[in-house]
Structure 1
Amino acid sequence: MSKSIPKHICIRPVTLYDLQKCLDLEEACFPESERASRDKVAYRLKYCPELSSGLFIRTFEENKNKDDEYVLPNHSSVKEEKLIGLIMGTKCYDDRITERSMEIPKLTTEGLVDTSIPDNDKVGHVESASNIGIHSLIIHPDYRGQNLATLLFKDYLQKMSQQEVGSQIILIAHERLVPFYEKLGFNNLGPSQCRHGGESWIDFAIPIVHVNDD
C-alpha cells in the first residue's frame, strides 16, 4: 500500500477510451450490488463525459544520459496512465438521487436518446436539468488515506462552478461517510428514499456557486 501521495498525478475528464479502467476501479471499490454495469458506465461516458473526472498516475518514458542514468526526455511523453480515482456524474431531473436517475434511457433505433419524452418522465441523464448527480466518488483502496478524494472533489466542484451546468451537486452515501461529506461542505438531507443495491443511504447536496474567471 502506498505510504505517500504518488508522483505525477493528474486530473482530467474520462472518456469512452477509459471505459475498462473505470469498470476495474468500480470493481475494486464497490460490492457487486452497488457497481454500475458496463452499459451504464459507457452510457455516462458517451452522453455526458464533461460531468466525470478521473485522477490518474502518469508514467513517463525515460532515457539514459551519458552517465547511464535514467532521466526524463526533453519532451516528456506519457507512457501509461493508471486510474486511481473517479467521479462520475449525470444531470438528474429529480433534486435527489433516485433509482431512475441511475438508469439508462431507451434509445432510438439509431442509438440516440429519444428527445420526444417529457423531462419529468425521463430516466438517466437529462441535459436540461440543473441537478448534477454524482454516482461514483471513489479512490482505489491502495491510495486511500491521502486526501485524494478531497483533492478530486474540490477540483470537480471548481470546474462545475466555472461553467453554467447546474445549480447543485447531489449524491447518496452510506451513514459511515457522513462526516467526510459534511467536511467537504455537503448538506446532510437525511435518509434517502433511494434503495440502490438494497441498501440504506443518506441524501447530500451542495450548491454550485458560479464564479467568473475574467
Structure 2
Amino acid sequence: MRMGFPDPKRTRSATDKFTKERTYVRNLTLLDLEACVALEEAAFITSERCPRETFSYRLKVCPELCFGIFTIRRNKEYLLGHAIATKTLSPSVTESSMAVATPRHSPHNPAGPTIALHSFAIQPTHQGRYLGTTLLQEYIRRMIMGGCVQRIALIARDRLAGFYERFGFRCRGVSSVKFGGGEWMDLVLDF
C-alpha cells in the first residue's frame, strides 16, 4: 500500500479538531470513482498512481474492501481519503495482485485469505489532521469484524513503515514488487 500523508503522533476522534468538520467512513462505490482518481492524482507522483481502469475494476469487483473518509460541506460530500484493496491468495502484495484486470487475469480472488491494501491516501490539503489514523483504525476494525481474512498486507516506502507498525503491521523486508520504481517495504498485519 502506498500512503500519501505524514505520520501522526497520536489518535484522534473522527471530528477533525483543526477544522471542526465531522468526518465519517463509508464503503466506496463506482459513484466515487472520479473522486478517488482525483485524490490519487493529488496524493501521488505519476509513476505511483493507480490507473482509472484499476480503480473502476476494484470498486466494481470488491467494494466491500474499499473505504473512504468523508466530510460534508454545503450539502455536498467530499472524499478526504481512501483505502482501496483486493483479496489475494498470497500472504503479501504481489505484482499479480496489483495487475490490471484482463480477460485472462483477475487480480481479485474472493477466496483469498489476504487483503492486499493497494492505495491509502489522504488529500494533501488535509494531511496532518489524523484522518489517516481514523481511516486505518476503522478499516482494520471492519476487516477483523468481517472475519473472512487472516491478514492485511501492503507495500509502503521505508519512511512510512513506522506509521503502519504502530497499528501492528510487521515489516518483512523489501518487497519484490517493482510498481512505481520498486524499493517498497512489505508490511503485514496478521489477525
Interval containing the TM-score (normalised by the shorter chain):
0.7 to 0.9
2:154 aligns to what SS in structure 1? strand
> Any conservation in 2 of the 1:102–1:123 contact (CA below 8 Å)?
no
Whole-Å separation in 1 of the counterparts to 2:147 and 2:121? 25
- For the pair 1:129 / 2:118, whether they are aligned, the reply is no
Question: 1:83 matched to which residue of 2?
Answer: 79
- For the pair 1:99 / 2:95, whether they are aligned, the reply is yes
Q: Between the two structures, name the one with larger relative contact order (CA 8 Å, sep ≥ 6).
A: 2
TM-score scaled to structure 2, two decimals?
0.87
Q: CA RMSD in A?
A: 1.6
Cα shift readout 1:142-171 (whole Å, capped 9, x = no counterpart)? 111122111101101111111132100000
Question: 2:137 matched to which residue of 1?
Answer: 154
Identity %: 36
Matches within 5 A, 1:44-193: 44-60=58-74, 79-107=75-103, 123-193=106-176
Gaps of 5+ in 2: 1-15
TM-score scaled to structure 1, two decimals?
0.78
Give how far 1:97 is off: 0.8
Give how far 1:98 is off: 1.1
> Any conservation in 2 of the 1:150–1:184 contact (CA below 8 Å)?
no
> Any conservation in 2 of the 1:5–1:146 contact (CA below 8 Å)?
no
Matches within 5 A, 1:12-23: 12-23=26-37
Alignment-mate amino acid for residue 32 of structure 2: D
Larger radius of gyration: 1
Alignment-mate amino acid for residue 41 of structure 2: E
2:166 aligns to what SS in structure 1? helix
Cα shift readout 1:55-76 (whole Å, capped 9, x = no counterpart)? 011125xxxxxxxxxxxxxxxx
Alpha-carbon spacing, 1:151–1:127, altered in 2? closer, same or farther (3 Å): same
Query: How many positions carry a matched residue from both structures?
Result: 176
Question: 1:194 matched to which residue of 2?
Answer: 177
